[in-house]
Chain A
């Protein structure tokens, strides 16, 4: 190779394990200049960051969500947290965990003496995109798996919501269990991740140790059907053992393996 040709080549080292990229969306095999990131990667990353930043501040289209949920044969109830807007929501998570006074009295008005076995709450959280994309298809899967006797017919939609507001809503509506479906904080490669938090015997003042979490529900992450099965498995176990959180271990995969072994 002539000196001139060498001078024209970019000093970029391409990693020879490009084929592994088919196994993960992680930024592997991105190469290096010296030991630093190539220009293309720096720009790619910054563009993704710009998009995620924008996504945090998108407001949830509640009307559209309500229509989607109603088309799954659920009725909807709208509530809001004590955070009046996005800016205060970001700085005051305590406001996002509590129901607005008006919403609490609305729920008290529709509360029935018969407990609800399984209450679904949807919260916008930190990604309204996750909620608008994934809640309806997840509900469709859930309808297939939920025991009929639980009669889970209501979905509460909570705005400017944090996870714990689900417990207050569950308590207000006399629910035995609450499943909180909420937009997780957006990642660079995943602005639309949905999280699910299950609480048995929900009430004010519980914490993460009392809840089971299923995270990253979306087509590129945990599929709707798998998430729905996992949630129902956990819910049945929670109902049976009368507990959720760290005391309830997720062995849904083992149950499946067991079932497969029996079949074979």
Chain B
């Protein structure tokens, strides 16, 4: 079906649904790179006017990537909850925006309809929304998950402690881990990006984090961000695996380029569940995503990068993750050119994830070849925390010395908690108070030399 809109003498034609979606998308370098972006400002607005008129039911009939050739499409269609959809099935995309912003769509209602919303519907409506709309609606969506603590409660923001080291040096990792814990970080997960994918070295990392968690009795979970097949092997070899990590994307072909499919993710989930290591819940998966991955794998099929990203959340949702992280500025300027594009993408991803019922956090970040700096990161993290972001990253001084990019620091989390009155996961906060890291008013305290954790360091640090 073709779509068209006339402005004066000029008529804008769009060949199909995915073209309307792509041309309606706020400008970003990745869509230009893909050759799917609007060519003029007016064409972009014409596409948005067309998009606003499209009924939500169209997205169930006119599939932007064919059912027969893509398992993500099959997942979206086969798991679509028609009963949940009934409440919004009469709406167009434009009406859907109005409905989402209205007071009818309260938190309970949004939760009820979440499984009736497809990623394409979420992406479509986001393209008609301003930044403040994305914030307001996301804030109404509550997604709560649990493993050894409870993540995503309203009024809370969690932190992934990311103690990476360029050569996986155990002492270096332990030092960054202790630094973060003493700043009150680590409730989302203690998650290491290893430099190696060597199985014995990965086993050592699992044991290191597990020992620290046990030594201080921390109500949190660990994760080593290596390929899912490595993690399955390590589970078989007896590694103490809490969360299973994998990068995922919104098309089958992109996931193939990562060496995965949905069945493999299911297998990994079962393996992690079999260890039965959660204490307050059994969300055992940790996913990372990011706009641009589909095009980067030459597997976007003419679909804009934001819609591809939203489709990744359908994959995530299917596996009930504890955490899903959009690594928004990591991919580089060819996909998100500058601070403005990174900020917009972060807000879109968070909105789409939450609307679909996925516990979305954001790696608020940029690389040194992008036109962005710390001021842009301050803006995005403040907006996202206002929108009810599930978690952000905590890295010493915001400088990841292993992955070579700038993200958010332990200090940044303390800033957000202080300015917006947000709390850590309740079990973790109780631990922070017990350990005299946080005072009775919820403020993280300066640490004295005599502190229990400095007097009883992790064994790798004892020689310091």
Q: B-contacting residues of A (Cβ < 8 Å)?
A: 13, 15-17, 19-30, 32, 34-37, 41, 45-46, 48-49, 52-53, 55-56, 90-94, 126, 184-190, 193, 207-209, 212-213, 215-216, 220-222, 245-246, 249-254, 257
Contact = CB atoms under 8 A, between A and B. Distances in A.
Given A32-B411, A49-B373, A254-B198, A246 B448 contact: no
Contacts of A23: 169, 171-172, 174-175, 461, 464
Given A20-B179, A185-B368, A207 B297 contact: yes
A187 B201 CA distance: 24
B67 to A, nearest CB: 24
A209 B166 contact: no
Given A188-B368, A221-B167, A17 B178 contact: yes
A143 B270 CA distance: 46
B211 interface: no
12 contacts: A22-B464, A24-B172, A27-B409, A28-B176, A32-B414, A45-B397, A91-B337, A187-B404, A187-B405, A209-B258, A246-B229, A254-B199
Contacts of B374: 45-46, 49
A250 B403 CA distance: 19
Contacts of A56: 368-369
B411 A35 contact: yes
B404 A26 contact: no
B447 interface: yes
Contacts of A92: 33, 334
Contacts of A24: 165, 169, 171-173, 175-176, 401
Given A17-B182, A91-B333, A215-B195, A189 B399 contact: yes
B179 A90 contact: no
Given A185-B404, A187-B404, A26 B396 contact: yes
Interface string B354-367: 00000000000001
A102 B368 CA distance: 31
Contacts, number: 193
A185 B332 contact: yes
Contacts of A46: 373-374
A169 B174 CA distance: 42
B256 A209 contact: yes
Contacts of A19: 464
B63 to A, nearest CB: 25
B166 A220 contact: yes
A224 to B, nearest CB: 13
B449 interface: yes
B320 interface: no
A39 to B, nearest CB: 13
A249 B197 contact: yes
Contacts of B446: 13, 32
A221 B172 CA distance: 12
B199 to A, nearest CB: 6
Interface of B: 29, 33, 163-167, 169, 171-176, 178-179, 182, 195-201, 227, 229-230, 233, 256-259, 296-298, 332-334, 337, 367-369, 373-374, 395-406, 409, 411, 414-415, 418, 443-444, 446-449, 451, 454, 461, 464
Contacts of A52: 368
Given A45-B374, A251-B198, A53 B368 contact: yes
Nearest to A221: B166
Given A90-B334, A187-B404, A190-B166, A28 B414 contact: no
Nearest to A28: B179
A56 to B, nearest CB: 5
B369 A90 contact: yes
A48 B399 CA distance: 10
B75 to A, nearest CB: 21
Q: Give the interface centre of A27, A46, A220, A257 by most chain B CB atoms within 10 Å.
A: A27
Given A91-B334, A187-B405, A190-B401, A26 B257 contact: no
B447 to A, nearest CB: 6
A231 to B, nearest CB: 13
B425 to A, nearest CB: 18
A189 B418 CA distance: 29
A244 B421 CA distance: 50
A6 to B, nearest CB: 16
Contacts of B411: 32, 35-37
Nearest to B443: A35
Contacts of A53: 368
A216 B167 contact: yes
A38 to B, nearest CB: 10
Which 4 residue pairs spanning A and B have beta carbons closest together?
A: A27-B397, A187-B404, A24-B172, A35-B414
Nearest to A248: B197
A253 B408 CA distance: 33
Given A23-B169, A37-B411, A90-B369, A28 B396 contact: yes
Contacts of B33: 91-94
Contact of A252 (B198, B444, B449): B198
A225 to B, nearest CB: 13
A222 B195 contact: yes
Nearest to A220: B166
Nearest to A252: B198
Contact of A187 (B229, B401, B447, B448): B401
A62 to B, nearest CB: 20
B257 A208 contact: yes
Nearest to A86: B369
A185 to B, nearest CB: 6
Given A16-B449, A185-B404, 9 more contacts: A15-B182, A17-B182, A24-B176, A26-B164, A37-B411, A53-B368, A91-B29, A91-B337, A185-B332
A222 B197 contact: no
Nearest to A26: B396
Contacts of B258: 208-209
B444 A35 contact: yes
A91 B447 CA distance: 46
